[in-house]
Amino acid sequence: MRLELAGITKRFGDLVANDGIDLSVEEGEIHCLLGENGAGKTTLMNVLFGLLHADGGEIRIDGEPVRFSDPGDAVRRGIGMVHQHFMLVPVFSVAENVVLGFEPVRRLGFLDRRRARAEIRRLSAEFGLAVDPDALVEHLPVGAQQRVEILKALIRDAKVLILDEPTAVLTPQETEALFTIMRSLVAAGRSILFITHKLKEVLAVADRITVVRLGRVVGHTTPAETDEDQLAAMMVGRSVELVVHKEPARPGEAVLEIAGLRVVDDRGVTVVDDVSLDVRAGEIVAVAGVQGNGQTELAEAVTGMRAVAAGTIRVGGRDLSHATPRRAIEAGVANVPEDRQSDGLVLSLSIADNLVLNQYDRAPYARHGARRLARVRADGERKLAEFDIRAPSAAVAVGTLSGGNQQKVVVARELSRPVKLLVCSQPTRGLDVGSIEYVHRRIVAERDRGAAVLLVSSELDEVLALGDRVAVMYRGRIAGVVDPSVGRDRIGLLMAGIDAVAPPPGGAKGESP
């Protein structure tokens, strides 16, 4: 089966998400679609899978133009898709999920469970998927849930499989297992469209590469003809520095001291469970883990955004266990939150106003209870240049900026005052390579000025590049605190709850063996 996309164009009002994109997938190959978040990759795949309808161009299968009115049409023509966010029913078994909407039935309309299980076992064995058809999905690790999604496509006889950012929630070991499965699928004559923004993965697994930027194809290449630097330049439109340059840390006294911390989520479930951790002045402690293991709630508790159920948090000797965000700010805590739009910015306000959200009522931005608007505007224009925020002026609404420039506004605000502790949660999520380079430099510079930095990231490359120590969280607990030099494999095992190391006496405050 040969798949072609010819001149695909998709508009959302004035926004052109896909602009005349050409792409072909040959039988038995892994074709990687590479681009930054917001480049139009997922939109293009949703057009291909019938979730969206193109405004121009056509899809061809074996040279024949086709039009999909819905995903069912795409499935019937041999196209399967594993979405970035899985489409599974947690309380159903693997077999029930795999055949949902495609149920083999016996006479009188009853589900033929034996036949479903047999087919799943056959496909699982053929492609090395290692999935138990009787297991409940809610009890499976993330990597196994992804394999269930692949089975759903295979049992419907997918010839072309779309994988949309498939490694975003996987450990390194699960990523390698996925690549092995992908190669076995290709060896059997299937084709894979692999959607990602991770350069190392592209070079490791792709047969051919198409790079998109701002909704347009900017190049086609192969791993043999390119490298990470060239791919990054194609994605961004200029050369970028991919390596984080930093001197060895010179840590001082403990600034952040967490002891016996317990935090519950909005459902009342304990998500941070008896965590103890120190972060010293002049060091970056990176918190690694698959998303959903308590890292988000840990950062929210430290910054006063989430209540503490038990335990203590101290910053510079000051007890902030039950502090509000305002008290945390007053104690010298800077916060780059995980969701910049919901928790870091007021999108309808100007850039200038957003830059002083944490100091709007204080000198020099206010006097005797009245705001000094000229000072606010002047400060905004100065920070546009200092922090390389790309905007016509500081008077424009921050909601009109790109994601990278919105993040720069948050970073500029948080680092424009004396900081004892910088908490960064997913600081480069959704950013282009150039903006990532900039944010990394600012984090390292803050460390070198003597601040303590708590970095929460689901990107293991970022953790290894920035962390002076790495604390790995698994199911709400610290599975180990290690030096980043132990490598991806060891940290990956800790992320999966394997090879956990006991913290040193007094909690996870030092380096584990």
Q: What is the pLDDT of residues 149-199, one digit of tens each?
A: 999 999 898 999 999 888 877 778 888 889 999 999 999 999 999 998 888
Strand 421-425 and strand 477-482: the pairing is unpaired
- Nearest 5 degrees, angle CA 496-CA 500-CA 502? 155
Q: In 3-state terms, what secondary structure has residue 250? A: coil
| Helices and strands, number each (H, E), in the chain | 16, 22
Residue-level pLDDT at 106:
65
Percent of the chain residues topping a pLDDT of 70: 95
Q: What secondary structure letter does DSSP report for 255?
A: E
pLDDT band at residue 240 using 50, 70 and 90 as cut-offs: confident
Percent of the chain residues topping a pLDDT of 90: 58
Distance CA 103, CA 318 (A): 60
Q: Which two tokens stand for residue 30?
A: 């892994």
At residue 146, what are phi and psi to the nearest 5 degrees? -65, -40
Q: What secondary structure letter does DSSP report for 89?
A: -
Nearest by Cα to 336 from 346, 327, 344, 324: 344
Residue-level pLDDT at 505:
41
What is the value of pTM for the model shown?
A: 0.74
- pLDDT tens figures, 446-467: 999 999 999 999 888 899 999 9
Dihedral of the alpha carbons of 437, 439, 443, 446, in degrees to the nearest 10 = 110
At residue 19, what are phi and psi to the nearest 5 degrees? -125, 90
DSSP codes, 111-155: B-HHHHHHHHHHHHHHHT----TTSBGGGS-HHHHHHHHHHHHHH
Residue 283 corresponds to which amino acid? E
Residue-level pLDDT at 109:
64
Q: Which residues contact 275 (CB under 8 A, 6 or more apart)?
A: 258, 260, 261, 262, 294, 298, 311, 473, 476, 477, 478, 508
Residue-level pLDDT at 341:
86
The pLDDT of 92-106, averaged and rounded, is 82
- pLDDT tens figures, 310-354: 999 999 999 999 999 999 999 999 999 988 888 999 999 999 999
pLDDT, averaged across the chain: 89
Q: Which two tokens stand for residue 349?
A: 């306000």
The pLDDT of 11-37, averaged and rounded, is 91
Q: b vs e for 368-378, b when ≥16 Cβ sit within 10 Å of the residue's Cβ?
A: eeeeeeebbbe
Residue-level pLDDT at 226:
95
Residue 500 pLDDT > 80: no
Domains of the chain: 3-236 (3.40.50.300), 254-332+418-495 (3.40.50.300)
Helix (H) or strand (E) holding 44: helix 41-48
CB 476 within 8 A of CB 271: yes
Nearest by Cα to 246 from 61, 12, 453, 398: 453
Residue-level pLDDT at 267:
83
Q: Which two tokens stand for residue 112?
A: 């033929």
The pLDDT of 468-487, averaged and rounded, is 94
Residue 504 pLDDT > 50: no
Residue 407 pLDDT > 90: no
CB 264 within 8 A of CB 311: no
Q: Which two tokens stand for residue 265?
A: 């989520």
Residue-level pLDDT at 214:
87
CB 374 within 8 A of CB 304: no
CB 357 within 8 A of CB 346: yes
Residue-level pLDDT at 177:
87
Residue-level pLDDT at 512:
37
Q: CA gyration radius for the chain?
A: 25
Residue-level pLDDT at 91:
92
Residue 263 pLDDT > 70: yes
Distance CA 213, CA 235 (A): 6
CA-based end-to-end distance of the chain: 52
